[in-house]
Amino acid sequence: MNSPNANTYPESPRVGAGAIVIHEGRILLVKRGVEPGKGLWAIPGGTLRLGETLRECAAREVLEETGVTIAVGECVYVFDLIERDESGEIKFHFVVADFAALYVSGEPKGADDADAAGWFSPLDLPDLPVSQNTLRALHSLGFLN
């Protein structure tokens, strides 16, 4: 089953990259405006383009989704996102590499496929609907206890 959206019901896994940007004790998150994870707060990121490196993808996606410019560092977290529909068919399949990144400039504002963007402290997160992969990444880095 193929759809007009190349990310939905893919014929093969898609590669994505994101950036974990922690600045002044707060993390940059976006509220996802599209599936998978629509409505959830998550690490900003998106799908790799042909000829683009993972680091370039992470920087581009953060800028497109938040208006924040970053300096991308090392890969710090990798995960599989596989979501099936009610009949068991694979609706989404991404392999995502998240990179540590340093804040350079800009004020977060949701754009592109992010409904909102902002800086959040660890104390803010229990009150937000945060994606499980984001929580796992933040726990693995010691941002959350």
Give the total number of structural domains in the chain: 1
Q: Is residue 44, in this structure, part of any structural domain at all?
A: yes
Q: Is residue 80, in this structure, part of any structural domain at all?
A: yes
Q: Is residue 2, in this structure, part of any structural domain at all?
A: no
Residue 7 pLDDT grade (very low, low, confident, very high; cuts 50, 70, 90): confident
Q: Is residue 63, in this structure, part of any structural domain at all?
A: yes
pTM of the full structure: 0.91
Q: Is residue 112, in this structure, part of any structural domain at all?
A: yes
Give me the half-sphere count of Cα atoms (radius 13 Å) on the Cβ side of residue 17.
Answer: 21
**For residues 13 and 93, is the Cβ–Cβ distance under 8 A?**
yes
CATH for 106: 3.90.79.10
pLDDT in tens, 20-33: 999 999 999 999 99
Assess whether pLDDT exceeds 50 at residue 64.
yes
Q: What is the mean pLDDT of residues 66-87?
A: 96
Full domain range(s) for residue 44:
14-140
**For residues 121 and 144, is the Cβ–Cβ distance under 8 A?**
no
The CA distance from 63 to 45, in Å, is 9
Q: Is residue 6, in this structure, part of any structural domain at all?
A: no
- At residue 6, the pLDDT reads 64
Q: What is the mean pLDDT of residues 92-108?
A: 97
